[in-house]
Amino acid sequence: MIPELKGKVLKTQKTRAYAARMADLEATLGTPTAAETARVALFFGVTIGRDFDVLDKMGMVLNETLMGGHEITWTRPFEPDEEVEVTVTLADVQDRGKNRIAVIESLFQAPGGEEIQRQYSTFVHLGGAGRGGEA
């Protein structure tokens, strides 16, 4: 993981909160609150666009990295088929012993700038910095 990227935007993406994806998630969950859950847990910001661009830019080696946590806060649920703008930023990088910890912030907004949701994903690279350099 590359500490020089701290505070930098790693990716911006325009997408849509597709009603069909919400319905798929709701059906998969199959719980009494599945419809509400599908409207707030629709995306994982780190892989927005269904790719690994963010992880690649950070030099993250997945087979040497653990997911340390994932936090979601929201202002409101996503509306079916609404347009969404996503900004993914490397919020923090810290070395802790031989491990490097990175926190990725994903901000989801309506086109006018209204915040919908914010995610913080924490990754722990075991034993050093990975492809981005030595710890």
Q: Which amino acid is at 135?
A: A
Compute the average pLDDT of residues 77-92: 97
Express each pLDDT in 103-119 by its tens digit: 999 999 999 999 999 99
Sign of CA dihedral 31, 33, 35, 36: negative
Please indicate, yes or no, if residue 34 is contained in any of the structural domains: no
Please indicate, yes or no, if residue 123 is contained in any of the structural domains: yes
Rg of the chain over CA atoms, in angstroms? 16
Q: What is the CATH number of the domain that holds 69?
A: 3.10.129.10
Spatial CA neighbour of 82 closest among 107, 110, 106, 108: 110
Spatial CA neighbour of 57 closest among 49, 113, 15: 49
The predicted pLDDT at position 130 comes to: 55
User: What's the whole-model pTM score?
Assistant: 0.89
Domains of the chain: total: 1
Annotate 53-75 with b (16+ C-beta within 10 A) or e (fewer).
Answer: bbbebbebbeebbeeeeeebeee
**Range(s) of the domain holding residue 105:** 3-17+44-132
Whether residue 17 contacts residue 82, with contact meaning beta carbons closer than 8 Å, is answered with yes
Please indicate, yes or no, if residue 35 is contained in any of the structural domains: no
Please indicate, yes or no, if residue 11 is contained in any of the structural domains: yes
